[in-house]
Structure 1
Amino acid sequence: MATSSPIPSSMSIIGKPRPWANSLPHELLTIEIADRFRVDSDATKLASSDFGKLVQAKPAAVFHPSSVDDIVNLIKFSYNCQVPFSIAARGRGHSVRGQAMAQNGVVVEMTSLKHNNNEGGIRVSHSSSLGFYADVAGGQFWIDVLQATLEHGLAPVSWTDYLYLTIGGTLSNAGISGQSFRYGPQISNVFEMDVITGKGEFVTCSKHINSKLFYAVLGGLGQFGIITRARISLERAPNKVKWVRMLYHDFSAFTTDQEHLISINGLDYVEGSLIMNHSPPNNWRSSFFSPSDQMKINSLLTKHGIIYCLEVVKYYDDLTIDSVDEELQLLLNGLRFLPNFVFKKDDSFVDFLNRVRSGELKLQAKGLWDVPHPWLNLFVPKSRIMDFNAGVFINILHKQNKTTGPILVYPMNRNKWDDRMSAVIPEEDTFYSIGLLLSSGDSDWEALEDQNKEILEFCEKSGIHAKQYLPHYKTREEWKNHFGAKWETFEERKDQFDPKRILSPGQIIFNSF
């Protein structure tokens, strides 16, 4: 098996006089492309860390492409080296455990393309077979896609809770949020992609053309190619949302009601969360509750220790404004929430989707955003969610009382996922997304990491076959166990599309730092 080496010395002296370029094959790496590299301390320092602030891995150089061809030539150059060097595509750098890093290799700053009109634009179109769609550069942010498509009265249907992420980044994982139960993850709403493989081949792929690569890349953790364009499904956009939060102290009632809501038509968003001492009613995900509401909720929290919050949204516009309240009431009839703990608000469609941004800016202003984030995201089978609540939410998180940050728990439907894709989910028809979105000071993140290990050990010992979302493992055996029946296919796809193991070394699947 080929392994990546540090970048050749001829490429690590960017910024030296012009004769330097004579050591490079001109047909692969021109002087203009060479000028896109950065090896200064600021560039490499930025690319050596990520949102998680848990891992450091310094690249030899950072590449700022001005075109897709630049990336093609970079990968071809590595592929044709006697000992290839590793390459990692970096979008917003929102990974938490070094997944977008390349120790002694090259980090490609994909957002460079969003500033180029030819390479980074957002084009909205329509066809009789696909309906409305947008062609979007892989380095484009989802917030930019939202704003551009709204100019046409359209929007994508599946989102992440945070919109300042790149298209290529979320499609390499799955892209999930409260809309996933209805519309599926973002990878289920892609018609076509342009991908540069680990051989430097530029390939257009879809379900019908080069389908093997198409399914490999979606949820493929960057292992098979770099996404430079995606064709995303669009639908008519609403103007407003009805946003409701209901509180529970009974976890069984909370999950039963969630499972009911995702089994019927009508709602556009369903998520759940925990309210605990260190996970207050309002947090950076959204400031939903008024001060008086928070006092009321805190009184309930004192009594029960843990409160479960069910959050639902129904979209509407000028044509449905007169009927939305009645329709929403019918959808919520029969739910077993605490009757005096129902909170409602109207919001714009854009402000609802972009709700996390305001929390981010507030924390940035206080210096509390750029801190370690030892996040843990899991998919837990429905059949074991009660055991997970007892073992993790109550016996670990509540008793230890050191969790700081939002805790999400909401169900999804397996039939909205395509099993041909690389993404891995539990085998059951319904499974829960668990998001422990923790943050800490520089000195106490290790305690939260130990807590995460305890949670994973509990699942293993209890026979809860949870799957990590945004997975992080350190051994080949752990990765094989994660992919299960998909491992053989995953490895075959790697051999076909990135045989020299050049791409995404930070995932530590086929490479190690």
Structure 2
Amino acid sequence: MEKTLVSPTTLILLMIIISQFMSIVGDLKTWNPSLPYEIFSQDFAARLSLSPDSVAAASGDFGGMVTETPAAVLYPASAADVVELIEFSYNSSSPFAVAARGHGHSARGQATAKDGVVVEMSSLKRNGGRIRVSWSESLGFYADVGGHELWVDVLRASLPHGLAPVSWTDYLYLTVGGTLSNAGISGQSFRYGPQIANVIEMDVITGKGELITCSKHINSELFFAVLGGLGQFGVITRARIVLDKAPTRVKWVRMLYDDFTKFTRDQEHLISIDDGLDYVEGSLIMTQSPANNWRSSFFSPSHQSQIASLISNHGIIYSLELVKYYDDETATTIDEELQEMFKGLSFIGGLVFEKDVSFFDFLNRVRSGEVKLRQKGMWDVPHPWLNLFVPKSRILDFNVGVFVDIILRQNKTSGPILVYPTNKARWDDRMSAVVPEEETFYCVGLLHSSRVNEWEELGNQNEEILKYCDEAGIKIKQYLPHYKTEEDWEKHFGKKWQIFQQRKALFDPKLILSPGQRIFSQSSSWVWSIDA
């Protein structure tokens, strides 16, 4: 008899029918053996929703530009539910896509699953997930954290022990699994590495439905694949995160520049100081990208008037943002340490601004801006972001060709523009994440916000920036990448492309996981037959 391929939607409906039937009549050992009812738990259907509201909520993301409608949404009570779902898809004659959705903060639909199933990982928190802080002689302090947990909750759980993770993102309301699937970067990365460099161990559900514990020493191929792997190799259900002694307060300083060369030279000097600063970030200040923005409010009205005058004269000025952690033991020397580090810097005289805040308030600085924007209805708008890693050797060319000739000239940007250096030595090349070849490279973030009907214009500007870099031979790498063709992905991964393909074939051979990244398709020339 000829086999009939069943659509993903029909398969999901079949799952519900089977599970509901089982809940009524009990264990059906004599029912049609061709149907794989035995893999389902009796209450699985109650956690799988086809409701229009659930499906609509899982169809988009923070970017607000891509809508991909799933067939259903799973609200798991435990990792076993996710295993059950993926295992069913893998064993099906017509596998369907599965995407793990954390806080939905992707920009281009990366956490969507058209006609498949989106797994709302936050449901695990409502079902008893927790964060456990521990110590061992071999590992030191660490926290076991669900992949669904928000980083702000990891911070809140570890601080009462006088501890905290060492590497952060600027925004803490992101999930652990989400940032580890990318890299997790901020102004601490030059010193402590990205978040993926501070993971000891993980529990991961592969595209075969296997729940595997992995580390650098156990199942290491999966461990390195998942870190920065864009969700292609598994769903992170637990991560063991490095903790260190937490400071109590921070000295938070900003200084202004009117010369990009001096601005970047000082940043590079500051990140080279051993046991120096704990955080270094830079940003552009223009008319369309103001000094105070949703990331932080630092300057008083009188300062803003002075800054506006500088912008009028120069078009762009540059803000260097620096932080040094301290506690009671170092409180008496912190100012002296900073003044010593600032000697020889080329900032504009008299334009140095300082705050003294708690460690928590500094790390959670973006939250207050978010609350204000939500109150104004300006948070849930399209965000056509572009994040790049730019080699140090070409950052001056990038400034002229992008910041001046494209962004300043076109006057379209609305949102923060970040530019700050980090060190390649802090990244483990065995991981899936890719960075430029040079030892020092810059993290550039064009964090656009847009009206609903205007995001395509900013998207076109992003394409112009990418085209300029390509034609100028600036070997950038996208962070939180978005590409349209497999050839572009191959160029992105470069020397890692072959191993990326091999890992996909090993851990997700039927291309079930994270289809929203648009890396692979069933027509990919390398794909093995799913019947093999």
Normalising by structure 2, report the TM-score.
0.93
- Which residues in structure 2 correspond to 1:72-471 (within 5 Å)? 72-117=83-128, 120-265=129-274, 266-471=276-481
Which deviates the most, 329-338 or 86-95?
A: 329-338
Kept in 2: contact 1:506–1:512 (CA 8 A): no
Whole-Å separation in 2 of the counterparts to 1:63 and 1:368: 29
Letter in structure 2 aligned against 1:247: L
How many pairs are equivalent?
508
Question: Which of 21, 27, 42 lines up with 1:19 in the alignment?
Answer: 21
TM-aligned CA deviation for residue 182 of structure 1: 0.1
Q: Which amino acid aligns with 2:451?
A: G
Amino acid corresponding to residue 386 of structure 1 in structure 2:
L
- CA–CA distance in structure 2, aligned partners of residues 461 and 165 of structure 1: 35
Q: Partners of 2:341 and 2:509 in 1: how far apart? A: 51
Offset of 1:363 from its aligned partner? Answer: 0.5
Q: 1:5 to 1:346 in 2, by over 3 A?
A: farther
Instruction: State the secondary structure of the residue aligned to 1:282.
Output: coil
For residues 239 and 28 of structure 1, what CA distance do their matches in structure 2 show? 50
Q: Corresponding residue for 2:26?
A: none
Contact 1:273 1:309 (C-alpha < 8 Å) held by counterparts: yes
Q: Distance in 1 between matches of 2:283 and 2:446?
A: 10
1:74-124 CA-to-partner distances (Å, cap 9, x unmatched) read 11000000010000000000000000000000000111112232xx21000
| Closer, same or farther: CA 10–212 of 1 in aligned 2, 3 Å | closer
Could you list the runs of 4 or more consecutive aligned residues of structure 1 that deviate by over 4 angstroms after TM superposition? 13-17, 20-24
Change (3 A) 1:10 1:414: closer
Q: Which amino acid aligns with 1:18?
A: Q
The CA deviation string for residues 31-71 of structure 1, in whole angstroms up to 9 with x for no partner, is 31121111111111110000000100000000000011111
Supply the AA of the counterpart residue of 1:375. Answer: W
Aligned AA for 1:511? S
Deviation string, structure 1 residues 201-236 (Cα, Å, up to 9, x no partner): 110000000000000000000000000000000001
Deviation per CA, 1:389-431: give whole Å up to 9, x if none: 0000000000111100000000000000000000000000000
1:498 aligns with 2:508: yes
1: CA distance between counterparts of 2:269 and 2:36?
61
TM alignment of 1:470-489, pairs within 5 A: 470-489=480-499
Identify the residue that residue 27 of structure 2 maps to in structure 1. none
- Alignment check: 8 A CA contact 1:12 1:60 kept: no
Shift of 1:14: 7.8
**SS in structure 2 opposite 1:246?**
strand
Contact between 2:9 and 2:115, CA under 8 Å: does it hold in 1?
no
Gaps of 5+ in 2: 24-30, 524-532
TM-superposed CA distance for 1:5, in Å, is 8.0
- Rg larger in 1 or in 2? 2
**Structure 1 Cα separation of the partners of residues 241 and 430 of structure 2:** 18
Distance 1:5 1:422, change over 3 A: farther
Counterpart AA for 1:85: F
Structure 1 length normalisation: TM-score? 0.97
Q: Give unpaired runs (5+ residues) of structure 1.
A: none
Cα distance in 2 for residues equivalent to 1:255 and 1:124: 39
The answer to whether the 8 Å contact 1:195/1:228 transfers is: yes
Residue in structure 1 matched with residue 50 of structure 2 by the alignment: 39
Larger CA deviation: 162-171 vs 19-28 = 19-28
Q: Given the alignment of the two structures, is residue 48 of structure 1 paired with residue 59 of structure 2, yes or no?
A: yes
Task: State whether residues 417 and 447 of structure 2, in contact with CA within 8 Å, keep that contact through their aligned partners in structure 1.
Answer: yes
How far apart in 2 are the matches of 1:68 and 1:19? 24
The SS at the match of 1:35 is helix
Partners of 2:502 and 2:11 in 1: CA distance: 33
Q: Quote the offset at 1:28 in angstroms.
A: 1.6
Aligned-pair CA distance for 1:444 = 0.9
Distance in 2 of aligned mates of 1:239 and 1:352: 11
Letter in 2 for 1:243: W
| Alpha-carbon distance between aligned partners in 2 of 1:181 and 1:466, rounded to the nearest angstrom | 18
The whole-number CA distance in structure 1 between the counterparts of 2:431 and 2:303 is 43
TM-superposed deviation, 1:27: 2.9
